[in-house]
Amino acid sequence: MLVPKKVKHRKWHKPRRMNKGVASRINTIAFGSFGLKSTSHSWVSSRQIEAARRVLTRYVKRGGKIWIRIFPDRPVTRKGSEVPMGGGKGSPDHYVCTIKPGVVMFEMEGIPEAEAREALTQAAYKLPVTTLFVKRS
C-alpha cells in the first residue's frame, strides 16, 4: 500500500468543506494513451488505490504500462472503539488522497483501446468516485 515515508505534521485538521472546486492540476493525460478521470469529489484511501492497481495489472498481464497519478498523503485519525469522550485526537489510522472532479487518477499505454477501457472500468468499481474513460487527444 502507498504510505508516505515522512510527513511534516502527523495529524491534519479535517477540512471545513471538501466539495469545492475542480482540479487545476493532474487534469490531463501526461504519460499514457488512456486514462481514468474522476467526475466527483471524494477521499480515496491507499487500500482503494492498491485494489484498483491490482485489477489493472492482472488485466493487462505483461502487455501494457500503468501510471498511478495520485498519492495518499493526508492522514486520517481514528480513536479506539468504546473510548470515552475527551482524551484528545486519535492516532493516525490510514492515509487518503483528496480527489476533485477532473483528476486523472490512472493512465495506461501499450494495449488496445477496448482492453484499456475494460481494465479501467473494472478498476473504477474499486474506487469511491464516479469516473470517465479518457483518451489522449
Tens of pLDDT, residues 30-50 = 999 999 999 999 999 999 999
pLDDT band at 80 (very low <50, low <70, confident <90, very high): very high
Residues 6+ apart with CB under 8 A from 63: 110, 111, 115
Mean pLDDT of the region 75-84? 94
Q: How many CB atoms lie within 10 A of CB 85?
A: 5
All structural domains of the chain with their residue ranges: 44-76+93-135
Domain 44-76+93-135 grouped into CATH 3.90.1170.10: yes
Query: Is the per-residue pLDDT at 19 higher than 90?
Result: no
pLDDT at 109: 96
Averaged pLDDT of the chain: 95
**In the predicted model, is pLDDT for residue 18 greater than 80?**
no
Q: Does the model's pTM come out above 0.85?
A: yes
| Chain segment 122-131, per-residue pLDDT in tens | 999 999 999 9
* Selection from 55, 53, 45, 43 nearest residue 3 by Cα: 45
What backbone torsions phi and psi does residue 124 show, to the nearest 5 degrees? -65, -25
Tens-digit pLDDT profile for residues 47-64: 999 999 999 999 998 889
